[in-house]
Amino acid sequence: MLDRYYKRPEGPLPEDMAVTRRLLGMTEESIRRDVHELTEWMKEQPDLPDKMEGVDMDWWLENYLIMNKNQLDRVKESLPLYFRLKTILPEIMVSDRDPFTRKEMIQAYNTTTLAIMPPQMEGGYKVGCFMHRPDTPAADYNPIGLAMHLTCMADLYLCLGFDHTKLVLVVDLSSLRMGHLTKYPLGLLRRFFLYAWRAYPERVAQINIINPPGILSVALALFKPLLKAKIRNRIIVHRNFESLLENVPLKYLPKEYGGECPSMLELHEAWRQKVADHQGYLKTCVATHRVLNEPKPTRGKSASTNK
């Protein structure tokens, strides 16, 4: 049951949101103009809905513009995929993405930590940190649950509002084991990178790998072919912590690394609770934010054929 309606905050936007828009060259006038153009464009698309349940469409489109670098042409390329994603990735875009009841998500949350640091860096960037928990066996990890969480985060940014322009990722691989890598279903992984990243085109400024393990080459061989060349070129492997600090000042790192931000686990669990608190909207996204009159999958064919 949808228990709230998501819309632009009353009065001035929070400072982080306002900064994000300024850095992308967005003004109140340009936002009204571009959102109006997108609204009219959607009305002309026979397979796209002209309204969105649970959220003010103008506000959602404003945030989708941010996700797409404030580029109208890019939005028009990405938006159809956003609505089709429920059919393209049915294993991930399920109606129940509850982090406290969904088995795959529970396994992902309990075996990893994924956190976004609160403060903005220069340029409106934010730091995101990820690692496998060292005290959990690789056999318990579930990458499908992690993918579900990532789509939930993207959906919540679109309805609650963007407060950053790009992400600077810090990926701690100190606990990565071969068992983690063997858990990835390759066909689904390819579809996720091919379609989900285009439907939710979150911008990544850097991928900083720290504590590289001996199997780093295996991990890179798995993921690099799925990334665009420009993202592959933004991967930096740090052999020592001082090297990381040249890119990410200590004040933007969590307590685990001696930084000034809250601990990764604290922020990880805060996002888990946020995803749980907005289940009504997340279920609405899956149920209604989809293309119109889409043919049902042919019996006997896999979801991957309906692209």
270 CB neighbour count, 10 Å cutoff: 14
CA-CA distance, 82 to 214, in Å (whole number)? 37
116: which DSSP letter? E
Does residue 218 form part of some domain? Answer: yes
φ/ψ bin of 74: left (φ > 0), alpha (ψ from -120 to 50), beta (otherwise): alpha
The pLDDT value given to residue 229: 93
Looking at residue 293, its pLDDT comes to 75
Residue 230: inside a domain: yes
**Domain assignment present for 234:** yes
Let me know if residue 180 belongs to a domain: yes
| Tokens at 113, concatenated | 């930590």
209 touches 171 (CB < 8 A): yes
Neighbours of 134 (CB within 10 A): 8
Task: Assess if residue 114 is contained within a domain.
Answer: yes
**DSSP for 214-236, written as a single string:** TTHHHHHHHHGGGS-HHHHTTEE
CA dist 73 → 60, 109, 184 (Å): 17, 36, 33
Residue 232: CATH number of its domain:
3.40.525.10
Count of domains for the chain: 1
Amino acid at residue number 160: L
In a domain, residue 171? The reply is yes
**Which residue is associated with the tokens 């950053």?**
164
**Axis-axis angle for helices 72-88, 57-67 (nearest 10):** 100
pLDDT of residue 295: 52
Chain position carrying tokens 């289940």: 279
Degrees (nearest 5) of the Cα angle 278, 284, 288? 160
Q: Is residue 191 part of a domain?
A: yes
Tell me the residue type at 79: L
The CA distance from 297 to 307, in Å, is 10
Helix (H, G, I), strand (E, B) or coil at 172: strand
* 110, 74 contact by CB (below 8 A): no
DSSP string covering 261-285, please? Answer: BPPHHHHHHHHHHHHHHTHHHHHHH
Mean pLDDT by 10 residues, the chain (307 residues): 87 96 98 98 94 96 98 97 97 96 97 97 97 97 97 98 97 97 96 96 96 97 94 96 96 97 97 97 96 59 40
Question: Cα Rg for the chain, rounded, in angstroms?
Answer: 19
Nearest of 246, 168, 236, 165 to residue 205 by alpha carbon:
168
Question: DSSP string covering 46-88, please?
Answer: TTS-SS-TTB-HHHHHHHHHHHTTT-HHHHHHHHHHHHHHHHH
Q: By residue range, what is the domain housing residue 237?
A: 106-140+160-269
Residue 125 resides in a domain: yes
Can you give the pLDDT at residue 302? 42
